[in-house]
Amino acid sequence: MAILTYSWLLDIFGILTALIAVFIAWAQWSHTYWSRRNLIAPKTTFFLGNSKGIVTQKQSFGDFTVEMYEYIRKHNKPHGGFYLTLMPNYMPVDPEIIKHIMLNDFDHFVDRGIYYNEEVDPLSAHLFSLDGAKWRNLRIKLTPTFTSGKMKMMFDTLVKCSDQLLVEMNQTAGKAPVDAKNILARFTTDIIGSCAFGIECNSLKNPNDEFTQYLKLFFVEGFWQNLNGIITFVAPELAKKLNMKVVNPVLSNFFMKVVEDTVNMRERNNIYRKDFMHLLLQLKNRGELVDDDSILQNNTDAENKEVTLTLNELAAQAFVFFLAGYETSSTTMTFCLYELASNPEIQDKLRAEINEVLQKHGKLTYDAIMEMRYMDKVVNETLRKYPPLPGLNRVCNKEYKVPGTDFVIEKGTKIWIPVLGLHRDPEYFPNPEKFDPERFTEENKRQRHPYTYLPFGEGPRICIGLRFGMMQTKVGLSVLLKNYKFSINSKTKLPLQLDPKSFIMSTEGGIWLDYTRV
């Protein structure tokens, strides 16, 4: 009996050894993909590829993107490859190739390759992650909700939220520093809550409000959350088979209930508000946007049924609108205030423009915001140094020969557009660490390749909420700079270091600013 047991253990050990050997060989072979295809790529670490720092949370995605970009540029190549664990990724660094991928030959690169699962994780199936025909149909439906006319419709609601921002800022003006990201995230939470749902979140009054606490669940950091993110990003098909979720179930249940309650209340009582939910309800009940306000009555016309939004689809779009508006705008305003505090002469010049335009218009209006030309330059330069996403991903959905080369991208290959690398490239932006709004004069913009500046993406998949994000960023900055003068507090760690636990651009330790009333 003992001999049989020992023999069985030896068999198991032999099988495990063989499997480990096969896995090691397969992993090493996987890291020869780019060399087999004669494309330059950095040296790899076993299994982790080039993403060791990301997996161990020692390196931010932004720093990683710049490192890969500079490696390819250093070798004077138009493109190259790298590995996220075992997954090969193609990186174009030539702006003309990037233009072809994002615009000219978009039909080869329609999808982002982002994981979503409509059945087990309905909030993940939003416009940013959808692919193919689903993305096209939804994009067509939603595009009219972000016109300049619709932005004007929401403007007054947005400005009202800035009144409470001043109330909170006034409490500690000249007395204590402010955690810029914290208060601006609460400000954008109130804006999105009001503009998206007609809900008063009161995040500025109460930092521990329900909405803010639940939203934080999406940005929870930790090893398992990081591992979940890597798997869904690198291997979305595997994640789908495992029924993984990118949205915390507690957050998902809360958000779905909020949307369902809001929809039921508005439809029952025929409530009309000038907000994003109003526009989504038009799409849900009519299948299109209409000018009259009586949009809440159900339309049972059979020909409209197939183009309407389901409740889950409506909730998913509201969710991504909430996340994008909450996070990216607050991050942009935070970095902008940091740079203005570091460059007081630029801060004074922008404040002078704000005062001049507001004096002309009498109050903060949509037209006044659009008239602030120097504001445009300052925000654009902020987005150059600190784009919300350091890179943009695509998937090649059919074999593609890269223009000007003999290289063919295989179907299914992941593409990583190095936004931060382009934005920090001294060939396109001399002395890139310097904050210089004059880079965005009309003359300077004409002299650069347009695909060297991509804070919102480009082509058919350009950020649909671009106008809204810019609008709330400019309103926030206008209100703050009109009333306060900012400087750097010693609690801010200098030089700024990107947070390795965050996929989006974020700093370790936060940005703390001193401020006094003007």
For 106-171, the DSSP string reads GGGS-------BTTTBGGG-STTT--HHHHHHHHHHHGGGGSHHHHHHHHHHHHHHHHHHHHHHHH
Angle (CA) 337-342-347 rounded to 5° is 60
> From the DSSP assignment, how many helices (H) and strands (E) are in the chain?
21, 9
102: which DSSP letter? I
Q: For 108-156, what is each residue's pLDDT tens digit? A: 999 999 899 999 999 999 999 999 999 999 999 888 888 888 888 889 8
Phi, psi torsion values for 132, nearest 5 degrees:
55, -140
Question: Which range scores top for mean pLDDT: 1-15, 225-239, 257-271, 291-305?
Answer: 257-271
Identify any residues that bridge with 80 across adjacent strands, giving them in sequence order: 91
H/E run at residue 82: strand 79-84
Q: For 269-309, what is each residue's pLDDT tens digit? A: 888 887 888 888 888 887 666 654 444 444 444 444 444 78
User: Looking at this protein, which amino acid is placed at residue 283?
Assistant: L
Phi, psi torsion values for 85, nearest 5 degrees:
50, -115
Angle (CA) 410-411-416 rounded to 5° is 80
Mean pLDDT of the chain: 89
pLDDT at 2: 55
CB 437 within 8 A of CB 414: no
Q: Which two tokens stand for residue 227?
A: 């591992």
The full set of domain ranges for the chain reads 32-517
CB 396 within 8 A of CB 410: yes
Contacts of 351 (CB under 8 A, 6+ apart): 481, 482, 485, 518
Sign of dihedral through CA atoms 243, 246, 251, 253?
negative
Q: For 30-56, what is each residue's pLDDT tens digit? A: 999 999 999 999 999 999 999 999 988
Minimal CA–CA distance to 81: which of 109, 49, 47, 55? 49
CB 75 within 8 A of CB 43: no
Topology, domain 32-517:
Cytochrome p450 (1.10.630)
Q: Is 195 annotated as a binding residue?
A: no
Distance between first and last Cα of the chain: 89
Phi, psi torsion values for 425, nearest 5 degrees:
-85, 120
Minimal CA–CA distance to 310: which of 263, 268, 278, 265? 263
Binning pLDDT at 50, 70 and 90, where does residue 450 land?
Answer: very high
